[in-house]
Structure 1
């Protein structure tokens, strides 16, 4: 078993037997090309088929991540040549459910590597695991509203990876007819996009959406042509012809493109999560991923079983790097808090919408750092939770089950809070990931003591997520570990599961907040 060999459509692959931190071992195959390297003339083009190879290709190390700014070291790393995926499996025989992970990173950074998302905890649950890299930032989302660069290339990379899974996963002991796509933050947004896109139909069968949907203000971009021209202008050229822009940008080294992309952002854009490049409508594409207006498409919902949810204090994320003057800026000009999509719908109603939001979260108080709790809730709801509530409401009219959750355990050994150096009670954005994955590159910060709440939560998450992947039901068996039956939402009732030290079930989490946001949306639509 030391170095297993599989045969995929492109050739033979040799993997490794990998020791699991959870005990035992599994087989891993890393750095598998699922599409041709998007270099040279293929930069900004839809993913093309991967070439075949002769002999046995060693799948021991991960492929390069897409060129990006590293969140922790603040250095630019990665490459154009990044369309690789990783597979982990207990055995090459049998036909087990497949779970495909889509990484976070706001569509500008991140990768599917085992450094952040090692599947050790998942491996004893009888699933086959796949994680993917895809193009991010300008390399994945340049949109000139023209077929030469229509946008959404990074999302099309995800589709290409799912096609590879459909064609090849049986060789790793996976069932191509039982595939669950799951992701957190922008990975959750990606899952939502895939559920809505005509290009992804039939490539997967269930979805898990953690803390991110297409309705979030940062999950799509507009004014893409203006942004692209501004980008090119920063590189010293004033070109408007789409063919010329693409031709010019293909001559610029990938790291230089990322440098310019980062320097384009104003402090206000950074604080409001406004990125220059991201998903949107790509109607000018020869084969569009999102051919119709996003709002219209998303309002129709989807008929695929899903788990969807959020964390109780998502907004702690927005305290990272926050300067005291940010509170004063918000206090002076609260209109910047109105989501761009709502402001664009009704520019004249922005003051009214701003007043509604401000009154709900801050009352008539001045916004200072003393109101940090209110600031956290406002940011979390604005950027993540309100959008998720909207998706859940749409799904109440669908036949396929939707399982809704809120995660609220505040761990004293939180990996996310340790990495981002924040101290505040509550489950912050991405805090659930430490119970699903072993982040091997941060192994020295991970505290999973036998018998601890953390170990119990890990076992619960793993069991529910993998049971859902197997059966479409996250709680098919009630026992000492899974103590409550998780009911899906119905046409009339927004059932949800509270995931804390204990499980509890309820109806309509954060009801007052959601009523406020519905009122704000109504102001924009009147």
Structure 2
């Protein structure tokens, strides 16, 4: 009898185990994938499928193609290759060119024979200056407490994603084209994972935020997204767009030892080199130089493409500057609701922290502002008169007259306004003509500054530094910051994190952020672009108009973009080898 009972229990266990395996197999358009399960922050079981090919890049510097079909069940339980990159925190070179994979996380999967209840979908674009990072940076455990399907992805980076020689050999924006392919994959497959292809929100932070805005005008992504969340980034920021891609390509050729007499010869030489050899021979930013070496770096990111023979503007990502595209209604192909904003001290980047942390460096910068200001604020090559712009900024932020000194908080404010606040505000103003825009300002004193602490600069500010908002939406994976949980965090940190996740998910569901808390019962959309209102996010919330001091600063930047810096918005002059 005992033996019979044991055999029955064993058989039951085998059957149950087989059912568990079967429950984690999904049949995609290109083949079957087997994932596994994990637990969310709140202890809910969710499904995860990693390293799913969404495209392939059969040739370096060329557009992506659909992935190959596969016959066997593909193991999707481990993250796949990251794209080739130099990671500035670890100072390591790594990655493989076979890297166009994505990851899907879902709280439930459709069951055959039952009515489908499809959930909203969020697709994440990672930060990293278009040169480093991966989808792995976004841990799914916080969002998996809610009814949402989450997708993270890798796309090509640096020269492999953005080399532009003005010809078919390397036309540029390959990384953005990869992302369009990922969105097509989502449209084709996401229902198999319980997601609603008619409710896909694109969310990006920093460089990913700038790329998210570009997909609003990218013909290759037309109709594939239904909402956007833009966190601390804009294509109007000088660190987002490359206005002289051929000059940057030549700089790359000189650094790695390739001919620069023609785009074809440069590309042929680069194709003959190992991918990591290219990166190792490139000049990388030196943190010790606090940004003064920016002119020596070959910069890669989104750029305006030349429409080649046989192509139309619908065959490229950017046939014109983002400014021209966003101000031309028919060029805005995705007129969808947008959440858009920044954090208190977005300009507090690691190299800014390094300067602010040193009295000697601050004194040197202040004493040589007219020389160094145009370099670190990146308008030396774009301003009509860089010295005049530097003087205007000094007079406004530091003060007119003799004896004025530059302090750390003022420098942070300048960086925040130049790279984030003014450009985010400008994006909101332009896009609000086409769809609902919900501007926010995230003001909070966090327990941890995740990027600054990683680089060795803790306790340098009482507010949120750039990318500090990540910790409230995602559990740390690549960045090993403490998870915000009910057991390990303060009550206010935990409530802010869970509240922010629910608020974002309400936007994914309906196109309107409704799960508000605190004083502000309703998040009001932008009504008057010339006098913006903001939803202030923190432990408490409120709807506010722009403070007078901030209005004055933004007025200065508006005048600069209309005058001395207007060249940054115009269609860049054509370049040739």
| Gap change, CA 1:97 and 1:165, over 3 Å in 2 | same
**1:393-429 superposed Cα distances (whole Å, 9 cap, x missing partner):** 223433x210000001011333334323322211111
The answer on 1:48 being equivalent to 2:69 is no
1:468 corresponding residue in structure 2: 507
Note if contact 1:138-1:257 (Cα within 8 Å) is conserved in structure 2. no
How many angstroms apart in 1 are the aligned matches of 2:343 and 2:260? Answer: 44
Equivalent residue runs for 1:5-404 within 5 Å: 5-36=25-56, 38=57, 42-93=59-110, 94-113=117-136, 116-263=137-284, 267=289, 268=291, 276-284=299-307, 286=311, 287-300=315-328, 302=332, 303-317=335-349, 318-322=351-355, 324-325=360-361, 328-329=364-365, 331-334=367-370, 336-338=372-374, 347=384, 349-364=385-400, 371-398=407-434, 400-404=435-439
How many angstroms apart in 2 are the aligned matches of 1:225 and 1:297? Answer: 22
| Gap change, CA 1:296 and 1:252, over 3 Å in 2 | same
How many angstroms apart in 2 are the aligned matches of 1:253 and 1:366? Answer: 54
Per-residue deviation at 1:338?
4.3
1:435 corresponding residue in structure 2: 472
Per-residue deviation at 1:298?
3.2
In the alignment, structure 2 segments of 5+ residues that lack a partner are 1-18, 111-116, 568-577
User: Over aligned residues, Cα RMSD in angstroms?
Assistant: 2.5
Which secondary structure state, in structure 2, belongs to the residue aligned with residue 87 of structure 1?
A: strand
In the alignment, structure 1 segments of 5+ residues that lack a partner are none
**1:350-402 superposed Cα distances (whole Å, 9 cap, x missing partner):** 3332222111111147686x60010111111111111011112223433x210
Note if contact 1:356-1:520 (Cα within 8 Å) is conserved in structure 2. no
Per-residue deviation at 1:220?
0.6
Note if contact 2:240-2:302 (Cα within 8 Å) is conserved in structure 1. yes
Which secondary structure state, in structure 1, belongs to the residue aligned with residue 242 of structure 2?
A: coil
Note if contact 1:265-1:275 (Cα within 8 Å) is conserved in structure 2. no
| Gap change, CA 1:296 and 1:343, over 3 Å in 2 | farther
Note if contact 1:29-1:87 (Cα within 8 Å) is conserved in structure 2. yes
Which secondary structure state, in structure 1, belongs to the residue aligned with residue 513 of structure 2?
A: coil
How many angstroms apart in 1 are the aligned matches of 2:479 and 2:281? Answer: 30
Q: Which structure is larger by alpha-carbon Rg, 1 or 2?
A: 2
Which secondary structure state, in structure 1, belongs to the residue aligned with residue 407 of structure 2?
A: helix
Which secondary structure state, in structure 2, belongs to the residue aligned with residue 384 of structure 1?
A: helix
How many angstroms apart in 1 are the aligned matches of 2:297 and 2:119? Answer: 40
The answer on 1:497 being equivalent to 2:535 is yes
2:497 corresponding residue in structure 1: 458
How many angstroms apart in 2 are the aligned matches of 1:173 and 1:421? Answer: 42
Which secondary structure state, in structure 1, belongs to the residue aligned with residue 563 of structure 2?
A: helix
2:114 corresponding residue in structure 1: none
Per-residue deviation at 1:442?
4.9
| Gap change, CA 1:133 and 1:23, over 3 Å in 2 | same
Note if contact 1:77-1:255 (Cα within 8 Å) is conserved in structure 2. yes
How many angstroms apart in 1 are the aligned matches of 2:478 and 2:187? Answer: 30
Note if contact 1:66-1:133 (Cα within 8 Å) is conserved in structure 2. yes
Per-residue deviation at 1:275?
5.5
